[in-house]
Chain A
């Protein structure tokens, strides 16, 4: 019983809202953007057929307002809501409220979000369905004696992990049995003070793991396919920065096994729509279920480029209760894709987020280059939202071709007014360990030192000196009231007389 979607409210902002609107335009679906006061002139607002203001800048007063968003969808005559990623995308309550309002939630059933959102229930379900998980306890440890016994069974090194955990708090790696009691006590103390909950689990500590995930697509008819893997081990602050598909260490045989495990995981929670199963993979290439992300991922474009499948269009199709137009045998991976997340961050200063106005923005272009961006010149990067402003994605015939293309595209990308992760991504593309595919999730800690970033040349510094002086004199002139606009600035600037027009020389 399929049902055509004619109008979609995009409950998100930035590049992902733009991405979703693009797919809708190609499908002839009317789009409704929602926006906060801070985003009034943002690209997603301009691209959509209609734009509705939903509140002030802070997310909890705008993009997280479930009631306002659902009311807006009804008032604007939408028949579906796409949540994007982040914000309300993995909120089972929201998915239910959308359905209750008689609208289609473009995502999985609320029950699947719930099951996979709870670490303990997800883990139990995976064990029951034979999907490999990191060995460990299924309930919190009750005594030091029990902890010692379990740790021996699991095998050292082990990881103590707070049940309510997050952000590394209440976590301890224990390498030797004699250190266990002390570590357990301090992990419990830390968990108690941080979360008011001192329950601690024991897990095997996977040494030097890689983070590799599998994209799945499931339709309402029960067909589930996987679209290969994404390698996401290049991370800073436990967040991905560079992703690629395929992974340098996954061959057809491993891909088939991981793909099957991912399909099993999706089937276990009666999954429908696009989802991602994240795995840790150790040095022996044994893989363990980490978690399932029940939404579209930031890094979905690399999968799109190697499979040729538009994931957002498939999400909409599946939400219309239509069957997937392909089977597993039809899926082919061609070439290699890499994504760099461009974030407003100072990579020389511990990836400290930067804010400011984007004074100039000229994305990379050319064959095999895709720029999914949420900003324009004049956009403000504020403290209210994620510092990621664009994703630069390239496709090459093979991995090395893609790396070369990414280097070229990063060099071509012009953005002024904010510090960005571009120099870091450039560093990664040049690093021998990355080129060899020999890296784990600790790549940044082990290999990256800001001192290794290329220093400006003497000529670049001279150019900077000239630019600063020119800016300075322009400012002094206007401050002294000697200037009243752009023309004067040009005439008064130190090198105005040496100006040579339009390359006539």
Chain B
């Protein structure tokens, strides 16, 4: 049985397919890569160029990763066939508007919440002020949408990666 993933990076989509014979297809085309496990991650080589990678999960329940490739960091979201299938059963809005969460990038204290539930927000809009490392840091919305739930209140102490706001 072949395995298929849809991979989202920087607003682009890659379809990665692995066949039963363990050949690799990317966006439908056969793809040949060498792979080496090195002390600082996994290195791939294709088209005679080397790519040193390192992937760290960024979510407890979603297949989301932060991957560094040759020093450039990027957020990577995976969708396997199971998830894709589940999505296709959902009707209406939910399939059009991708839901998102605002998470705390570091431990700290919530000093100000700048949005209210039900509010329409834009991508990059400041939503929460988090005090950490003796500085006030503005946390921004990762995507546009409607504030579905605010999961913290002012003066709350939060850990890294705590979900602060749900956006739908």
A470-B3 Cα distance, complex, nearest whole Å: 12
B interface, size bucket: 35 or more
A398 close to B (CB within 8 Å): no
Structural contact, A383 and B133, CB atoms closer than 8 A: yes
Structural contact, A464 and B24, CB atoms closer than 8 A: no
A113 to chain B, nearest CB (A): 22
Using Cβ atoms and an 8 Å threshold, which residues of chain B touch A462? 14, 26, 31, 46
A359 close to B (CB within 8 Å): yes
Structural contact, A490 and B135, CB atoms closer than 8 A: no
A130 close to B (CB within 8 Å): no
Structural contact, B7 and A455, CB atoms closer than 8 A: no
Structural contact, B22 and A383, CB atoms closer than 8 A: no
Our pick among A411, A413, A470, A498 for the contact of B22 (Cβ within 8 Å) is A498
Using Cβ atoms and an 8 Å threshold, which residues of chain A touch B46? 459, 462
Using Cβ atoms and an 8 Å threshold, which residues of chain A touch B9? 456, 461, 464-465
Structural contact, A383 and B132, CB atoms closer than 8 A: yes
Structural contact, A362 and B69, CB atoms closer than 8 A: no
The residue on A at minimum CB distance from B63 is A472
Using Cβ atoms and an 8 Å threshold, which residues of chain B touch A472? 63, 65, 78
Structural contact, B67 and A467, CB atoms closer than 8 A: yes
The residue on A at minimum CB distance from B137 is A352
B-contact bits for A491-505, CB 8 A (1 contact / 0 none): 000111111100101
Q: Could you tell me which residues of chain B, from 111 to 168, have a CB within 8 Å of some CB in chain A?
A: 132-133, 135, 137-138, 140, 160
B37 close to A (CB within 8 Å): yes
A451 to chain B, nearest CB (A): 11
Using Cβ atoms and an 8 Å threshold, which residues of chain B touch A377? 40
A210 to chain B, nearest CB (A): 25
A79 close to B (CB within 8 Å): no
The residue on A at minimum CB distance from B107 is A383
A101 close to B (CB within 8 Å): no
Structural contact, A346 and B34, CB atoms closer than 8 A: no
The residue on A at minimum CB distance from B18 is A494
B113 to chain A, nearest CB (A): 18
The residue on A at minimum CB distance from B108 is A383
A121 close to B (CB within 8 Å): no
Using Cβ atoms and an 8 Å threshold, which residues of chain A touch B73? 419
B84 close to A (CB within 8 Å): no
Q: Could you tell me which residues of chain B, from 47 to 65, have a CB within 8 Å of some CB in chain A?
A: 47, 49, 51-57, 63, 65
A461-B33 Cα distance, complex, nearest whole Å: 14
Structural contact, A468 and B67, CB atoms closer than 8 A: yes
Structural contact, B65 and A468, CB atoms closer than 8 A: yes
A interface, size bucket: 35 or more
The residue on A at minimum CB distance from B32 is A498
Structural contact, B42 and A467, CB atoms closer than 8 A: yes
Q: Could you tell me which residues of chain B, from 66 to 124, have a CB within 8 Å of some CB in chain A?
A: 67-74, 76, 78, 105-108
Using Cβ atoms and an 8 Å threshold, which residues of chain B touch A350? 137-138
A327 close to B (CB within 8 Å): no
The residue on B at minimum CB distance from A359 is B54
**Known contacts A360-B40, A456-B74; is-contact A470 B133 (Cβ 8 Å):** no
Structural contact, A423 and B71, CB atoms closer than 8 A: yes
Our pick among A354, A456, A459 for the contact of B47 (Cβ within 8 Å) is A459
A140-B78 Cα distance, complex, nearest whole Å: 61
Using Cβ atoms and an 8 Å threshold, which residues of chain B touch A353? 106, 132-133, 135, 137
Structural contact, B69 and A471, CB atoms closer than 8 A: no
Q: Could you tell me which residues of chain A, from 370 to 390, have a CB within 8 Å of some CB in chain B?
A: 377, 383, 386-387
Structural contact, A495 and B35, CB atoms closer than 8 A: yes
A48-B76 Cα distance, complex, nearest whole Å: 41
A441-B52 Cα distance, complex, nearest whole Å: 36
The residue on B at minimum CB distance from A361 is B40
A454 close to B (CB within 8 Å): yes
**Known contacts A354-B105, A461-B74, A463-B44; is-contact A417 B69 (Cβ 8 Å):** no
Using Cβ atoms and an 8 Å threshold, which residues of chain A touch B40? 359-360, 362, 377, 414, 416
**Known contacts A459-B47, A461-B10, A468-B65; is-contact A417 B56 (Cβ 8 Å):** yes
Structural contact, A467 and B53, CB atoms closer than 8 A: yes
A142 close to B (CB within 8 Å): no
Structural contact, A414 and B78, CB atoms closer than 8 A: no
Using Cβ atoms and an 8 Å threshold, which residues of chain A touch B52? 414
Using Cβ atoms and an 8 Å threshold, which residues of chain B touch A352? 105-106, 137
Structural contact, B42 and A464, CB atoms closer than 8 A: no
Q: Which of B26, B47, B67 has most A Cβ within 10 Å? A: B67
A475 close to B (CB within 8 Å): yes
A469 close to B (CB within 8 Å): yes
Structural contact, B53 and A466, CB atoms closer than 8 A: yes
Using Cβ atoms and an 8 Å threshold, which residues of chain B touch A464? 9, 53, 55, 67, 69, 74, 76
Our pick among B33, B37, B69, B132 for the contact of A460 (Cβ within 8 Å) is B69
B-contact bits for A279-317, CB 8 A (1 contact / 0 none): 000000000000000000000000000000000000000
Using Cβ atoms and an 8 Å threshold, which residues of chain B touch A423? 71-72
Using Cβ atoms and an 8 Å threshold, which residues of chain A touch B63? 468, 472
The residue on A at minimum CB distance from B54 is A416
A22-B6 Cα distance, complex, nearest whole Å: 51
Structural contact, B133 and A465, CB atoms closer than 8 A: no
Structural contact, A355 and B106, CB atoms closer than 8 A: yes
A402 close to B (CB within 8 Å): no
The residue on B at minimum CB distance from A417 is B56
A75 close to B (CB within 8 Å): no
A31-B149 Cα distance, complex, nearest whole Å: 54
A422 close to B (CB within 8 Å): yes
Structural contact, A465 and B41, CB atoms closer than 8 A: no
The residue on A at minimum CB distance from B47 is A459
**Known contacts A362-B40, A411-B71; is-contact A459 B34 (Cβ 8 Å):** no
Using Cβ atoms and an 8 Å threshold, which residues of chain A touch B34? 498-500, 505
Using Cβ atoms and an 8 Å threshold, which residues of chain B touch A460? 51, 69-70, 72, 74
Using Cβ atoms and an 8 Å threshold, which residues of chain A touch B36? 499-500, 503
Structural contact, A355 and B107, CB atoms closer than 8 A: yes
* CB-CB nearest 4 A-B residue pairs: A360-B40, A463-B51, A467-B53, A471-B55
